[in-house]
């Protein structure tokens, strides 16, 4: 396989992943989730109380390739630090 063919294959794969993420974003934004992890809205430290059990609305969805186990992340209302989908449970409306 030539370098150009390899590049085309990678770009095609990236394009498909992007399309899948866009579909997922449309499905997830606005859904309610309950925090099941020890998330407290801080990247480091524990001065704020944990939000375990609290319910929030998903405001944005992102792809985090550094998290192999749960590469899809979300931002919830009122928080600037993202969570992985493994840290939340979906709430039926």
Reported as a pLDDT band with limits 50, 70 and 90, residue 79 is: confident
List Cβ neighbours of 24 (8 Å cut-off, separation of 6 or more). Answer: 61, 72
Question: pLDDT of 18-69, one tens digit each?
Answer: 888 888 899 999 999 999 998 877 777 778 888 899 999 999 998 877 777 7
Residue from 40, 28, 41 nearest 74 by CA: 28
Per-residue model confidence (pLDDT) at position 62: 87
Per-residue model confidence (pLDDT) at position 93: 64
Model's pTM, two decimal places? 0.75
Check: CATH 2.30.30 for 3-91? Answer: yes
- Segments making up each domain of the chain, as ranges: 3-91
Residue 90, pLDDT above cutoff 90: yes
Q: What is the CA radius of gyration of the chain?
A: 16
């Amino acid at each position: 396989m030539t370098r150009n063919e390899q590049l085309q294959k990678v770009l095609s794969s990236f394009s498909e992943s992007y399309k899948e993420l866009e579909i997922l974003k449309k499905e997830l934004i606005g859904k309610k989730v309950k925090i099941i992890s020890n998330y407290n809205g801080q990247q480091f430290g524990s001065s704020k109380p944990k939000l375990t059990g609290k319910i929030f609305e998903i405001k944005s969805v992102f792809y985090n390739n550094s998290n192999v186990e749960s590469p899809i992340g979300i931002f919830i209302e009122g928080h600037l630090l993202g969570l992985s989908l493994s840290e939340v449970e979906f709430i039926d409306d």
